[in-house]
Amino acid sequence: MTNAEKVIKIATENNGYITTKQVKDANINTIELTRLIKQNKIERIARGYYAITNSFCDDYYKYQLKSKNCVFSHSTALYFYDLSDRTPLYFDMTVPIGYNGSLNKDKNVQLHYVKKEFLTIGLTTIKSPFGMEIRTYDLERTICDIVKYRNHMDKEMFTKALKWYAKRKDKDLLKLMRYAKKLNIDKKILEYMEVLL
C-alpha cells in the first residue's frame, strides 16, 4: 500500500477527515498531504485538517475545525436541543472578544463575541446531526444566551424556545440561575421563568 493510499484509508476510517497529526502518527511524511491536494484527492478545510474531496462533509464539524475557540450557540444550539423547529439559515457561533480568524469573513456564520472568561460557561460536546463530535453550549447556557440577546432574535422563535424549555423534564433551573448570575442576567431569567413555570 502506498503512502497516498494509507492517507486515504485513514481518512475513510475517520468519516472522510484526516489531520496532520494522524499522518505523522502513521509515520507518513506530511508532503503526501500536499501531493494529494494537488491531485484533487483531498482538500484542506482548516490548518492541520483535511477531507476527502467530494466526500460528504459534516458542515457543523467542518466549521468547528476553523477555530479551536468557537462554540455553536444561540439559534443553532436551540436546533440541537429541539427548542426550534427551524433548520438554521446560518451557523451561530460564539467566539472570544478579539477573535480575528477566518470565520469573520464567512457569510454562513453569525458570530457572537463574549469575554474569554464567559466562553467556557456551559460548554459541552454533543454529536452533530451527522454524528461528529462538536462543541456547543448546554441547554441552560443556550437559554441564557437567547434571553441576553432577545432583541436580536426572531420573537416567535424566542417565545417558543422558552415555552418548550419550561416544559422539559430535563431542565435544570438551579444551573440556569447559576449561569444567569455569572452572565449578569439573573433578574431577566427570573422574570421569564416566573411567567412560564
Q: Give the pLDDT of residue 197.
A: 66
Q: Give the pLDDT of residue 61.
A: 87
- What is the three-class DSSP state of 11? helix
Closest CA to 145 of 90, 88, 75, 81: 75
Q: Give the pLDDT of residue 193.
A: 86
Taking the CA atoms of residue 97, residue 182, residue 83 and residue 88 in that order, the dihedral angle to the nearest 10 degrees is 0
Q: Does domain 3-57 have CATH number 1.10.10.10?
A: yes
Low-confidence ranges of the chain (pLDDT < 50): none
Residues 43-75 as b or e (16 or more Cβ within 10 Å = b): eebbeebbbbeeeebbebbbbbbbbebbbbbbb
pLDDT 10s digits, 70-111: 999 999 999 999 999 888 889 999 999 999 888 888 899 999
Q: Give the pLDDT of residue 121.
A: 97
Domain ranges of the chain: 3-57, 67-196
Q: Which residues contact 196 (CB under 8 A, 6 or more apart)?
A: 162, 163, 165, 166
